[in-house]
Every structure is written in structure tokens, then in C-alpha cells.
């Protein structure tokens, strides 16, 4: 567990922040976070939902970053990280800027699904059957916010992510730059049918101190002003399709993150490539992709386990610590079989069947309108009535993430193989 300070920057106002982040509900505080779970969120959130011929996620977040952190209770980088190339430092800061703020907001706002905005728009285009033309660029102010999320009450959240290892001042500068990026997705003139469904528009960033830094790790959340219009969400049907698009991308990213990239790609695009049709057909409770990737049937799930080892220096000398980390991915066998059966022998995905499966696993709510002043009270009441959607926990030395789609990630340190040499 690591400690990170949480702050809200109100210099841009607070109109776009949810009530959970406003006084008297919110005060600056220290957040205890399981870094293993944050790395799992990084792996999920950065996985392309379609098969691109190579992997950008899987276990890389754990293998790259578990050994990069200082062993203390505060989130801080190891001494050796100071000598790493600046490009690699930038990559770490960007990745941490995704994983840690998203995890905090997931816990605080009960986020159920999150999707990179670009993929969300592509899924929405397919669902609506129309081209969405926005002022989209990969860099600079016209860049859209990084993620669109849906919470347990059915509301949307737009989030831009930032991260730096330089200083808290640099983080403040990045957040100011992020203001313009979130502006492109919202406006004062946003159609009422859409604005009522967006509960927050935020820039969230993290400062990750290096070993010699005098500052503590800090996540800062800020509310931008907004200027442009997303008219595509004008209408009740479009709102429902937009929710479904976030859910679909979320599922396909999770499938990709555990190695089932071709299944995720077929479900996202609505069609299996001719070369993959036989690979993805349901066969004795699974498909050949699952078996080819090394999954084995274990009880009610298909599971894949791996491990990796690190040597951690403890001091300036010869003493070092040997550590063995274990990773285990699994997916419910019945869920996998039902998803595979959504793909017909022709390669086409039966959208009605897929919607039925996803509706049972992760039903979407239709909010009645803009949340009122009693929103938190009603939310607490609804939370008590509903089953937990995500499981984020540390159990018997294992950090566990289980998603609404019954995909499970476990990370643990094998202490039986941890020793000093």
C-alpha cells in the first residue's frame, strides 16, 4: 500500500466537479492505494480494444513498474530511477497519470466503465451508423479528453489525465493545459438532453516524487471551463447508445489486457476476420484462442498464470533483495462461452445476443436527469441495494481486481521466494 495526497484545485471554478469532490463532502486528505491494483488499471485502460498485431498491455505495467517504486509507505521512485533516460521517465509519468487518478475516481465516483475517448467515438459511430466530426487532434488544445466514463447511476464523466515527476508546479502547468483539452467535449450550449447526463468534466493529474524529492506524491483534480458543443448526444437514443459504447469498449479492453485480443476485436468491430472465425468459435466451453494463449480450465474459470523476478538493491553495496511476483488472469468459463457464441459461423457478431449478455453482466442505468442536492444520499441508498460491480481488494496477500464482466486479475508477491543476498 502507498500513500498519496489528494487535492482539488478550484482556480478554474468548480461547476464541472461532482458533489463528491466539493466542500463539505471533500477535504484534502491522504489516500491509501494498492499500487498493484493501480498497475492493473493501467494495463486495462491502455489496451487497444481491437487486435493490432502486437500487444501494448498484458503484464507490462507490472513488470516495468513494480520494481521502480521505493519500498516505503509513500509513493516514491527508487534511487536508481534517477539515472533512467528522460523518455522512460515521461512514459512512467503518463502511465501513472492514467492509472492512479482513474483508480481514485473509480472508488470515489463508483465508475463502472471507462473508455478512451477516441475508441468511444468509433464505437458510437458504428452504433449510430453516422460519422462523428469533431475538432480532434492528437496534441495541443484541440485534443479531446482522454477518457469517457460511466458510473453506477448511469452518468457520464469526461477525464483528462496528466502526470509528471518534475515538480508539483509542473503538474499545475499541465493541468492548466488540460483545461483546454476537456473544453472540446462540452459547452454551455450543450443540449439539455446531454448535459443532464454528464456529472463531471475533470482534469486529474499526479506528481510522482523521485527518491530525493522533498515533496510527497499528490493527485490534483481540477474543473475546466468549456467552449464547444458535442451535439451528437442530442436525443435519448443517442444517450443510450453512448452508454453502450463505453461498456463495449470497456469489455474489449479487458479482453485484450488478458491476451484475448482477437475475441475483443471481433466483438468491437462486429465481425471476425475470415482467418479468425474458426479460432473464435465456441468449442467445448471455450475457443481455440483461449487455449492457444495458454489458459487452462480451473474450476468455473479459464486461467493463465505467470511470474517474473526482480533484484532490488537495498543500499549502496552488495546487499540486494530477490523478489518473485505472480500474476494470474482468469475469465468466467460461462461468460467466455456466451461471448464466443455471439459470433456466428459467418463471422458476424449478433448484436442482440451480445447486448443481452452485457445487459445481464453489467446493466446500464438511465438517470432521471441532472443530480440534485440529495444525490449522495440517494446514491448511498442505491449502493446498498445493488451488488458490487468491481471488486478491488487485498486478500491473503493478493491484490485482486474483478470487473463486472467476471474477468479477474490477481497480483501477489511470493514471499516464500523473497530473500536477501
What tens digit of pLDDT does each residue of 80-136 get? 777 777 777 788 888 999 999 999 999 998 899 999 988 998 998 888 877 776 655
Query: Which pLDDT score, from 0 to 100, does residue 193 have?
Result: 55
**Average confidence (pLDDT) over 223-234:** 51
Query: Which pLDDT score, from 0 to 100, does residue 226 have?
Result: 39
pLDDT-based confidence at 15, cuts 50/70/90?
confident
Q: Is 102 exposed, middle or buried (0-12, 13-18, 19+ CB in 10 A)?
A: buried
Is residue 134 within 8 Å of residue 158, measured between CB atoms?
Answer: no
Entry field: residues in the chain: 421
pLDDT surpasses 70 at 230:
no
List the domain boundaries for the chain. Answer: 2-420
pLDDT surpasses 60 at 183:
no
pLDDT-based confidence at 195, cuts 50/70/90?
low
| Distance in Å from the first CA to the final CA of the chain | 25
pLDDT surpasses 60 at 297:
yes
pLDDT surpasses 60 at 399:
yes
pLDDT-based confidence at 379, cuts 50/70/90?
low
pLDDT surpasses 70 at 381:
no
Is residue 65 within 8 Å of residue 47, measured between CB atoms?
Answer: no
Query: Which pLDDT score, from 0 to 100, does residue 189 have?
Result: 36
Task: Report the helix count and the strand count for the chain, using DSSP H and E.
Answer: 13, 14
**CA contacts within 13 A on the Cβ side of 75:** 27
How many Å apart are CA 122 and CA 355, to the nearest integer? 18
pLDDT tens figures, 124-160: 888 887 777 665 555 544 467 889 999 988 888 889 8
Query: Which pLDDT score, from 0 to 100, does residue 224 have?
Result: 59
Query: Which pLDDT score, from 0 to 100, does residue 361 have?
Result: 94
Mode of pairing for the β-strands spanning 198-207 and 156-164: parallel
**Average confidence (pLDDT) over 237-252:** 90
Query: Which pLDDT score, from 0 to 100, does residue 325 have?
Result: 85
pLDDT surpasses 70 at 55:
no
Cβ contacts of residue 216 below 8 Å, gap of 6+?
A: 3, 4, 5, 74, 75, 209
Amino acid at each position: 500500500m502507498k500513500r498519496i495526497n489528494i487535492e482539488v484545485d478550484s482556480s478554474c471554478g468548480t461547476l464541472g466537479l461532482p458533489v463528491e469532490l466539493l466542500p463539505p463532502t471533500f477535504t484534502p486528505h491522504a489516500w491509501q492505494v494498492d499500487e498493484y491494483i493501480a498497475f492493473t488499471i493501467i494495463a486495462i485502460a491502455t489496451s487497444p480494444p481491437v487486435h493490432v498485431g502486437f500487444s501494448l498491455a498484458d503484464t507490462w505495467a507490472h513488470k516495468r513498474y513494480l520494481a521502480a517504486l521505493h519500498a516505503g509507505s509513500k509513493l516514491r521512485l527508487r534511487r536508481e530511477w534517477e539515472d533512467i533516460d528522460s523518455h522512460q521517465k515521461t512514459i512512467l509519468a503518463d502511465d501513472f497519470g492514467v492509472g492512479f487518478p482513474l483508480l481514485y475516481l473509480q472508488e470515489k465516483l463508483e465508475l463502472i466503465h471507462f473508455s478512451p475517448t477516441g475508441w468511444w467515438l468509433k464505437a458510437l459511430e458504428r452504433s449510430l451508423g453516422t460519422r462523428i466530426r469533431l475538432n480532434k487532434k492528437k496534441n495541443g488544445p484541440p485534443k479531446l479528453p482522454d477518457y469517457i466514463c460511466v458510473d453506477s447511476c448511469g452518468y457520464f464523466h469526461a477525464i483528462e489525465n496528466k502526470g509528471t515527476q518534475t515538480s508539483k508546479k509542473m503538474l499545475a502547468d499541465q493541468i492548466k493545459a488540460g483545461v483546454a483539452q476537456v473544453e472540446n467535449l462540452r459547452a454551455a450550449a450543450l443540449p439539455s438532453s446531454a448535459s443532464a447526463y454528464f456529472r463531471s468534466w475533470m482534469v486529474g493529474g499526479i506528481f510522482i516524487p523521485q527518491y530525493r524529492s522533498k515533496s510527497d506524491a499528490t493527485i490534483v483534480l481540477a474543473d475546466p471551463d468549456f467552449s464547444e458543443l458535442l451535439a451528437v448526444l442530442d436525443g435519448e437514443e443517442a444517450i443510450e447508445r453512448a452508454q453502450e459504447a463505453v461498456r463495449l469498449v470497456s469489455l474489449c479492453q479487458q479482453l485484450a489486457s488478458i491476451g484475448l485480443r482477437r475475441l475483443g476485436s471481433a466483438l468491437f468491430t462486429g465481425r471476425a476476420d475470415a482467418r479468425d472465425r474458426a479460432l473464435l468459435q465456441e468449442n467445448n466451453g471455450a475457443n481455440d484462442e483461449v487455449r492457444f494463449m495458454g489458459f487452462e480450465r480451473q474450476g468455473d474459470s479459464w486461467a493463465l498464470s505467470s511470474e517474473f523476478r526482480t533484484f532490488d538493491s537495498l543500499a549502496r553495496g552488495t546487499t540486494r533483495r530477490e523478489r518473485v511476483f505472480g500474476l494470474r488472469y482468469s475469465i468466467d468459463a460461462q461468460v467466455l462461452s456466451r461471448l464466443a457464441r455471439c459470433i456466428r459461423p459467418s463471422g458476424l457478431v449478433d448484436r442482440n445476443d451480445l447486448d443481452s449478455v452485457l445487459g445481464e453482466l453489467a446493466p446500464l442505468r438511465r438517470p432521471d436527469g441532472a443530480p440534485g442536492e440529495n444525490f449522495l444520499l440517494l446514491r448511498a441508498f442505491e449502493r446498498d441495494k445493488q451488488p458490487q460491480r468491481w471488486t478491488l481488494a487485498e486478500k491473503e496477500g493478493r491484490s485482486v481486481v474483478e470487473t463486472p464482466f467476471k474477468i479477474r486479475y490477481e497480483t501477489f508477491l511470493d514471499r516464500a521466494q523473497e530473500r536477501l543476498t
